[in-house]
Amino acid sequence: MKRTFHFLVLLMSALTAMAATNGPFAIRGYYTTFMRMPTFGLPEWKQMIDSMKEDGANFLFLWTAGGFRSKSFPITWRYNADHKNVDRDYAHELIDYAHSKGIKVVLGFTPFAYDGVNQLPLEHPELKATQKNGQPANFWGLHAWGYNLCPAKEASQKFMRDYVREMFFEFYPNADGLLIESSDYAICYCADCHGKFFDHEYAFVRQISDAVWLAKSDALIFVYPRYFSTGQVPQFGVSGARQKFDPRWSLFFTPHSAPIHDELAKQARSSVYWNDGLTIGTPPKIRDGARLARQRGLSGYIASCEPFSCIDGPPGSHNPRLKPFHMAWLHDGEMPLNELPVRLNRIAYREWTRQPALTDSAFHDILGRELFGANTDFQRIQDVLFLQDCWFHEADWFKPPKLHLPSDLKQQAAREKWPAERMQPYLDRVKHLRDIERRYATATSGAERQLHDVSTWILRPWDELK
């Protein structure tokens, strides 16, 4: 009897260990830049939430600064006046809808930089940050063009507090918390910030966190590790700060700006690893993101899902409106998540966050069944993986891959005097896509039809070159 009991205890702990290494993540979901999707209204966002639900998500990082009609600081949204949520506020309803599907929502913004915030120096140039060379910050942005702020100035601190308080307490008190995304592109190098930039930034982070927790003690607040570790902060050539970590915080790690810090992660309420896998990546990138998060014992893996529909460039750039995931066939405002290349990434996200140890071949079986039905042949699976790779290989946030722009590609090759072997991989891809286009020419519906249509779409400008 005793022996049986021991055996059961051992079995239970083995099963628990297996679940810990291969069960679903506690936090699963997408990071979205709401403010850079001006054409989506509530109906489209409900579709987005429904899609997330299908993907097994329970979390949405909704980057909101610059995308709501602040009463205190109208300058923060003026550049984004045609955003549907600026025109008529619906994000409150969107958050309620997410909750009805079991999805928590935290509001994202960057302290002293990026969208919304970087507009303030247009009215208050005295708050501009200083560059390394001693000059004031450059006019720069992604969609929201402006200047990053110096956090050593009290007026910058007050603005950040008031702006985020307004966003969280007045506009969206139904949100579950905040993502305080420390900048990945600029800091301030003025005399007051020298060696202390992240201490100044931390002062705001601490104050807003306390204010939020005072009103909502279970609010989730995600912060970056750089305030609590003196290791070098990527991109800036400066060290982080030595502030005390409050275990009520959750941590957000990224491959390019916030390396995973194991000791801090252990102290945090929760911790997630992010990468761009869903927006400009492939299933292997999603797999690797999930596996890394699991290996390091984090609570979640978050993929960026950013179907931009904004206009990039400074005001007056006259650039065309971006198409979500560069899918130029979509109407303005049309949701792209069921288009084949993205759908494939979504399936990858769902499966690898449910089971990070899933093998590639098991994933291919699931993919085949879902897209083409039972007993599909391997050819179809290979074709869909290849097409997906052609969609996102070399894609940039704001630019489609070179394969989609053959005349630019050829000009670049001529300008830079490429040897033939550098062009050959593109030509090989074109040839391969022609085979796919032919193979599915008679398909009338479903993933097979999309295989044909997307191949045709990539090939058309190549045909026009001739």
Binding positions for Zn ion, rule: CB under 5 A? 150, 152, 188, 190, 193
54-93 core/surface letters (b: 16 or more CB in 10 A; e: else): ebbbbbbbbbbbbbbbbeebeebbebbeebbbbeebbbee
For Zn ion, the closer of residues 193 and 327 by Cβ is: 193
> Cα(465)–Cα(404) distance, rounded to whole angstroms?
12
Q: Which amino acid is at 447?
A: A
Looking up tokens 């705001």 gives 204
Nearer to Zn ion, 98 or 193 (CB): 193
| Token couple for 224 | 């970056």
Structure tokens at 1: 């009897």
Whole-angstrom Cα distance, residue 321 to residue 328? 10
Using DSSP's 3-state secondary structure scheme, residue 349 falls into: helix
Which C-beta is closer to Zn ion: that of 35 or that of 187? 187
Minimum distance of Zn ion from residue 141's CB (angstroms): 19
Q: Cβ neighbours of residue 75 under 8 Å, at least 6 residues apart?
A: 119, 120, 122, 123
- Nearer Cβ to Zn ion (188/220): 188
Sorted by sequence, the CB contacts under 8 Å of residue 292 that are 6+ apart come out as: 260, 273, 301
* C-alpha span between 175 and 189 (Å, rounded): 34
The least distance separating Zn ion from the CB of residue 227, rounded to whole angstroms, comes to: 16
- In the bound complex, what is the minimum distance in angstroms from residue 190's beta carbon to Zn ion? 3
Q: Which is nearer to Zn ion, 156 or 209 (CB)?
A: 156
Cβ distance to Zn ion smaller for residue 239 or 267: 239
CB of 204 to Zn ion, least distance (A): 13
Task: Name the residue nearer to Zn ion (CB basis): 57 or 188.
Answer: 188
Q: State the minimum distance, in angstroms, from the CB of residue 127 to Zn ion.
A: 9
Nearest distance, CB of residue 230 and Zn ion, angstroms: 19
Q: How far is the CB of 334 from Zn ion (least distance, A)?
A: 43
- Find the DSSP H helices in 125-258: 154-165, 197-215
Q: How far apart are CA 7 and CA 13, in angstroms?
A: 10
